[in-house]
Structure 1
Amino acid sequence: MSTGGIGPRFALGERDVRRVADAVDFIRATGTREALDAVLPGTDLARHLEFAHGALLVAGVSAEQAAADLARLGVTPRDPVARERPAWRLGPDDPDVRVVRGVVGDGPRGVVLVVCGGRGVVPACEDEPRLVFRATSDDDVVLRGVYEAVAEAGPAPDGGGYDRSEDATVLHFRGGRRLALAAPGRRDALLLRHLGRPDQAGRDMLHLMSGAWRTRSLAVVAELGVADLLADGPKSTAELAAATGVREDNLRRVLRYLASLGVFAVDGDTWSSTDLGALLRSDVDGSQRDLARLYGGLFYRSFGALEHTVRTGESAFTHVFGADPFDHFAAHPADARLFESAMASGASFLRAVPGALDLPAEGAVVDVAGGDGHLLAYVLRAAPRLRGALFDRPHVIGAARAVLAGHGLAGRVELVAGDFFRDPVPPGGAVYLLSRILHDWDDERCGTILRNVRSAAAPGATLAIVERPIPESRGGQLPLAWDVHMMVNNVHGRERTPSEYRKLLCANGFRLDEVRPLPLDMAVLVATATG
């Protein structure tokens, strides 16, 4: 944008005119993803945020003069000019603060000038525009997640407040470049979290300690099938209580609690499901209903004996139920069916595995302990010229046969019954799969499994291990939680860091080449059979 003729035409000084002109050019030419990359490189928040405007601090002119200068730069000013202080951290000696807003081009993005009449010099830290991103959702859970993602990326809180003219809570951050999040409406809890509060540590601790209440509440509504009852539209508490055979007032109180967590929506005494709550339906793709029933039921009871595991090293599951997990499931078919259904429902990330692999054009894929066959089906459907072999215990093969036939793959897959500790793995595979297997076992037993696979794999064959590795630099919450889960609900299991997997693989005939991310903090560890 040309700023020629700076002087009598502009009330702003030459430096400020060029700053504003550069900001207008940036705002006009930059989309949301590019703007996010400028302030939060490496994050993926474009689906939750939109680039709203750039804001600059200027001084030494009136709000009316600043608005006129925006018009001269091709920006359409908006009125009224605000007298109230912006949600921006300024010193206590700013007696005259105005906000001047303008629309760049056809919109919707704009530029905001914070005009400080009592200042003559703009701090160097405010030379560049503060980029403001508007949240596209008003869901509390989504907003908290977006906020935490921004905070984890490194920028520090830098003030904030409620902007009446925009009806938005604005949260400012400082880092390499300054940015702000604008959440629709009043978000007092989020603002207090951002600004810090004297009782925040206590509130956070109470939130952590009440996690069991959330787990059981979710399990109860999953067991009752509430989300299924809401599939065809909203229902009153009375209707839901009658359909489930429970006490109306008590159900209302549980639903009200879960609604505060974003699981359900409420209008008066009528309930509907949110996108989050829809995952508790039994008939949706990616359903987690049985997972909620398992975590809030069988595994909830075993976690009650966590102290026993920490003190003795013994499995809490075995202590509570009197048998190792797989022996228990063999003796209790209903629990086994729930466990198998929950594991399948919690494996939606498997659909992303083929895209994370460099699959050959032809050859064989061998899924070792392939379970019900879903992962092998996804891989074979992504590569039509590949054939497959699924290797697992005899009682599992039947379920896998039905799943693979349902995918139209019965003619491309050989089903081989066997135990990976004792029986030979099918040889000749170009790719071997081990999905959520190694985390079930200690290093010694993992070594047995890997050597068995290596004896079947030719040098140069690929081994793809699907697990939830613990990050080396900063432990992710999900992998660390699952590490404790494996300690409680498995006799030998644990999650590992990539370095631990590298050492384990190297000792048993493989070289770890790369760790490729999957959803839900899962990953594919790609290894090669060495000569």
Structure 2
Amino acid sequence: MSFSGLCERDARRVADTVAFIGRTGTREALDAVLPGLDLVRHLDFAHGALLVVAPDADAVAADLVRLGVRPRDPVPSVVVRDRLAQRLGREDLDVRIVHAVVGAGPREVEVFVLRGDFPDVPGDEEHLAFRAATDDDVVLRGVYEHLADAGLTPDGGGYNKHEDVTVLYLRGARRMELTVPGHRESLLRRHLGRPDQPRRDLLRLMSGAWRTRSLAVVAELGVPDLLADGPRTTADLAAACGAREDNLGRVLRYLAALGVFALDRNGWVLTETGALLRGDVEGSQRDLARLYGGLFYRSFSALEHTVRTGESAFTHVFGADPFDHFAAHPADARLFESAMAAGTSFLKIVPTALDLPAEGVVVDVAGGDGHLLGYVLGCAPGLRGVLFDRPHVMDPARAVLSRFGCADRVSLVPGDFFRDPVPAGAVYLLSRILHDWDDERCATILGGIRAAAAPGARLVVVERPVPETHLEELPLAWDVHMMVNNVHGRERTPIEYRNLLAANGFRLDEIRPLPLDMAVLAATAV
């Protein structure tokens, strides 16, 4: 086959792209950009694109007909022309786009035609393009933030007035184009940033301690609880919580900029985020804010000591390992336990991620106050439970399980998994335990469970694994947190968990996601 516009190499590239478009759906195309992107409801795979150098765009269009696609007339490219002009140092570029329908449609191949003699044209204009399935600003912002959170990085963009669309480029395993209808100035500004954006970003990162302490202070003062019944003025709040009006108002104004409070004509009100700082709501984060902005705020001041020496920053600051400190300071222990309970709201959906047998015994190893076991037994009335933990948690666990209405189906067994035998069962729960310990101590814990478990018994591990394909902030932040506020703790990647389990008699079968980057790691005794 002879071509009048495309060289042999470019003709082969175009043919390969056409074949990919013809056989690929939206989900598969998203996986090609970054595996696991779950945005099929909001995005449609629109086209695949590549850049060629040719003397004439009309001749390229004629060549596309020979390749079995149906081209439209070439139109000017604004975004790609500007990108290439900047990178090539040329202002006289002529770049045209040739759109061509692939197969029965509606997907297309998009060929950028750069006219002229350019032997060293950048090769990264190839991308997969997705069209937003909505023009709702809130949904579009959510889709964009999801892409950013997944690890895709901005790679240019702009407004194409010829097509009245905003075009955003992002880079993952492959380059991605997101096309949004209309001129979306705020979204484009979010994507491209400002000229001083790097310094702004760094200043925001460096001032994170200010946010942490501001949240802790309003939680300590009880400001969110004072707003439970409606708006109140700064003066009213200051009088009620014993604060200086001017200073309190400045903190509230700062937190309002962060989305925690809002100001209406009647005074300060809680946002959906700020409401979580109330002490009387389900999933309250009040004590978590007090802990992170208090005890753990102080321990993080010794992060450099931990990085240099490998010793726990908490131990360095407070003179004792965390659990020894809590044993000697009851008030700190109560705050810690309340804060940890605040972080367990996701546990109620754990049973939905499990394949529970109809009958048998579930052993919650180091099950604490019994919340997870209560949720599991509530979903499986034919199961019985065993809570295995230190003696001092038996009474709180008994009270919690009574509230769940399943105390009569649970045996409370006091013990230490480092010294005492683990009770026998068909299913074992191990929730947020392994990240407290190094591999050697984890081997002791898992070995004790494996000694009690028959082959085929199930092990359910609940942790926050560190993704291996991209950077997720929460798991990485908690990994540093475990380094600072625990003697032996660390978060692990899925492969590290797989190897740890395999070395101690378990096969990792599946990882099932939970909110806040938590996950259920389902394993089997072998």
Q: With the length of structure 1 as denominator, give the TM-score of the two structures.
A: 0.73
Asked if 1:299 corresponds to 2:293, the answer is: no
Query: What corresponds to 2:403 in structure 1?
Result: 406
Shift of 1:203: 1.4
Q: Which residues of structure 1 form unaligned runs of 5+?
A: 1-29, 55-84, 95-124
Shift of 1:415: 0.8
Shift of 1:130: 6.5
How many Å separate the matches in 1 of 2:156 and 2:292?
39
Shift of 1:358: 1.0
User: How many pairs are equivalent?
Assistant: 450
Which letter maps to 2:178?
A: L
Gap change, CA 1:526 and 1:264, over 3 Å in 2? same
SS of the equivalent of 1:353 reads helix
Gap change, CA 1:231 and 1:170, over 3 Å in 2? farther
Shift of 1:126: 12
Q: Deviations over 1:197-237 (max 9, x none)?
A: 43222111111111111111111111112222222222221
How many Å separate the matches in 2 of 1:330 and 1:499?
35
Shift of 1:353: 1.3
State the Cα RMSD in Å: 4.3
Once the two structures are superposed, the pairs formed by residues 89-108 of structure 1 within 5 Å of their partners are none
Shift of 1:262: 1.2
Q: Which of 240, 247, 265 is matched with 1:250 structurally?
A: 247
Q: Which of 254, 268, 273 is matched with 1:271 structurally?
A: 268
Shift of 1:461: 0.4
Shift of 1:502: 2.1
Q: With the length of structure 2 as denominator, give the TM-score of the two structures.
A: 0.73
Contact 2:507/2:523 (8 A) holds in 1: yes
Contact 2:129/2:179 (8 A) holds in 1: no
Asked if 1:448 corresponds to 2:447, the answer is: no
Query: What corresponds to 2:102 in structure 1?
Result: none
How many Å separate the matches in 2 of 1:141 and 1:306?
35
Which letter maps to 1:472?
A: E
How many Å separate the matches in 2 of 1:248 and 1:441?
46
Asked if 1:509 corresponds to 2:500, the answer is: no
Once the two structures are superposed, the pairs formed by residues 362-377 of structure 1 within 5 Å of their partners are 362-377=359-374
Query: What corresponds to 1:203 in structure 2?
Result: 200
Shift of 1:184: 11
Shift of 1:242: 1.5
Query: What corresponds to 1:132 in structure 2?
Result: 132
Shift of 1:492: 1.1
Q: Which residues of structure 2 form unaligned runs of 5+?
A: 1-24, 48-75, 83-90, 94-124
Contact 1:365/1:389 (8 A) holds in 2: yes
How many Å separate the matches in 2 of 1:512 and 1:506?
7
Contact 1:39/1:179 (8 A) holds in 2: no
Query: What corresponds to 2:157 in structure 1?
Result: 159
How many Å separate the matches in 2 of 1:381 and 1:202?
51
Which letter maps to 2:356?
A: L
Contact 1:89/1:158 (8 A) holds in 2: no
SS of the equivalent of 2:468 reads coil
How many Å separate the matches in 1 of 2:178 and 2:359?
49
How many Å separate the matches in 1 of 2:399 and 2:169?
54
Query: What corresponds to 1:495 in structure 2?
Result: 491
Once the two structures are overlaid, the 10-residue window that deviates more, 206-215 or 85-94, is 85-94
Q: Which of 219, 222, 226 is matched with 2:219 structurally?
A: 222
Query: What corresponds to 1:43 in structure 2?
Result: 37
Q: Deviations over 1:386-430 (max 9, x none)?
A: 111101111101111111100111111111111111111111x11
Contact 2:155/2:170 (8 A) holds in 1: yes
Q: Deviations over 1:169-222 (max 9, x none)?
A: 9856697774335799863xx543422443222111111111111111111111
Contact 1:87/1:159 (8 A) holds in 2: no
Query: What corresponds to 2:117 in structure 1?
Result: none
Contact 1:468/1:523 (8 A) holds in 2: yes
Q: Identity of counterpart residues, as a percentage?
A: 69
Q: Deviations over 1:431-456 (max 9, x none)?
A: 00111111111111111111111111
Gap change, CA 1:184 and 1:388, over 3 Å in 2? farther
Query: What corresponds to 1:145 in structure 2?
Result: 145
SS of the equivalent of 1:285 reads coil
